[in-house]
Amino acid sequence: METQRPEVAVVRCPDYTTETVYAAVKHSLELLGGIEAHIAPGSRVMLKPNLVRSMPPERGATTHPAVVAAVARLVVEAGSYPIIVESPGGPYTPATLRTVYRRTGMDAAAESSGAILNYDTGASQVAYPEGKLLHRLDVINPLLEADAVINLPKLKTHNLTVLTMGAKNLFGVVPGSLKIGYHSKLVERDTFCDGLVDIVQFVRPALTVMDAVVGMEGEGPTGGKPRTVGALVASANVWALDTVGASLVGVDPLLVTTTRMAVQRGLATGRLEDVNLLGEPFEALCVSDFEKGIDTPIDPGLVPKPLRFMVRMAQRPGAAGSTAGASSALRSLAQGWIWKQLVARPRATERCVACGFCVKHCPVQAITIINRRATMNSSVCIRCYCCHELCPHDAVLLEKPLLGRLVTGK
């Protein structure tokens, strides 16, 4: 952990007007010593936005092109070479990238700023002996060829990690459909996020600039609602940035699974008071009623009294077999049946066109097409929500069983 408090700049940015965003991004980086303090002149700089899938920027699910263009302009002005790189969910092909870049506005961002768009879909497996869980990583080749990475996440809810910000955005360096394999071998939520910590520590972005001008609340990362926050958040420390981002929308940073796993490793504290905040008065930008997703942690106090102990057991970290005798059996029940009643299950709605995209990209083959509609096998489903996140027709709904609806009111 750093001995000095990590610096995070929080700057007001009311809209996506080109010059407004440029001025706000420039100011945020000047507070951190200027972009020249973080990238060397003449370097090849990979800009990594969140382009989860092909969606227009007004949906609030992808990093806005005005933010990407502003950072790219500053990189060019610093005498370096920006390249916009993403590996969205699904096939990692030049054709997919062309569609994603066009619909998310990245082609216009590149043209206006002097950046280039990456179409190299090569990937490599690299050794990472320092990893806690992942000692070999599958990553896209542009990452390995870059001199520096600037991470450009979007502030959104996420039904697996509670929020997706700087840390979760770097899962995009895993190429295309190979992400499925990571979900498949890192099934448990904490385990998956511990693997994400390994990926973040491997990438080590020089800067993270988060688009929180308009975030996404509710059923993120792609099915929620745009929500104006009016801020840009920047830092050289991704864990500090995620701590500030969560606090900005009224979420306890330690409820964000990636942050909690980083804290367990001593990479962060997850406490806002341990961050040196720069820029605007923080309280003036905070959002108090940001709507969380359906699968955020549950307050046992909301549960009917006879079930509260079971819910606490279900949420307690650690393996089910770590306690002997009756307690072990109780925890197994709590982490099994009870937990499944409290978390959301994906279901295809009438919008499903049986395209098979979710079938192809389910990491555990829990989906089949029956009567021209996707059908999810809840006994196999690992609740990674890839189907909900990637469905090109927004046809997957997340539903809780009756007990979960009674507990949360959703």
- Mind giving me the DSSP string for 283-342? HHH--S-PPP-TTS---GGGS-GGGHHHHHHHHS-S-GGGS-HHHHHHHHHIIIIIHHHH
| Residue 312 confidence (pLDDT) | 56
| Residue 322 confidence (pLDDT) | 44
Q: What is the pLDDT of residues 324-370, one digit of tens each?
A: 555 555 555 555 565 566 667 899 999 999 999 999 999 889 999 99
CA distance linking residue 93 with residue 95, whole number of Å? 5
User: What domains sit in the chain, N to C, each tagged with a CATH number?
Assistant: 7-285 (3.40.50.11440), 300-408 (3.30.70.20)
Above 60 in pLDDT, residue 262?
A: yes
Q: Which two tokens stand for residue 122?
A: 């090569």
Partners of residue 207 on adjacent β-strands: 150
Q: What is the pLDDT of residues 313-328, one digit of tens each?
A: 555 555 444 445 555 5
Q: What is the pLDDT of residues 51-107, one digit of tens each?
A: 998 999 999 999 999 999 999 999 999 999 999 999 998 889 999 999 999 999 999
Q: Which letter, b or e, does each residue of 77-93 get, where b requires 16 or more Cβ atoms within 10 Å of its Cβ?
A: ebebbbbbbbbbbbebe
pLDDT band at 402 (very low <50, low <70, confident <90, very high): confident
Q: State residue 228 phi and psi, 5-degree precision.
A: -70, 125
CA distance linking residue 208 with residue 243, whole number of Å? 13
**HSE-up of residue 158 (Cα within 13 Å, Cβ side):** 27
Q: State residue 151 phi and psi, 5-degree precision.
A: -90, 125
Q: What share of the chain is helix, strand, coil (3-state, %, to 5)?
A: 40, 20, 40
Please count the other Cβ atoms lying within 10 Å of the Cβ belonging to residue 14. Answer: 12
Hey, what's the torsion of the CAs at 372, 183, 208, 226, to 10 degrees?
A: 30
Angle CA(53)–CA(288)–CA(299) in degrees, nearest 5?
85
Mean pLDDT of the chain, nearest integer: 89
- Count of residues making up the chain: 410
Q: State residue 170 phi and psi, 5-degree precision.
A: -80, -5
Window from 38-47, 90-99, 296-305 with minimum mean pLDDT: 296-305
Tokens 């003036």 correspond to 284
Partners of residue 55 on adjacent β-strands: none
CA distance linking residue 179 with residue 182, whole number of Å? 5
Cβ atoms of 343 and 335 within 8 Å: the answer is no
CA distance linking residue 83 with residue 73, whole number of Å? 11
Cβ atoms of 159 and 388 within 8 Å: the answer is yes
- The contacts of residue 341 (CB under 8 Å, 6+ apart) are 400, 401, 402, 403, 404
Q: Where are the alpha helices (DSSP H) in 105-161?
A: 106-113, 141-145
Give the mean model confidence (pLDDT) for residues 119-139.
Answer: 94
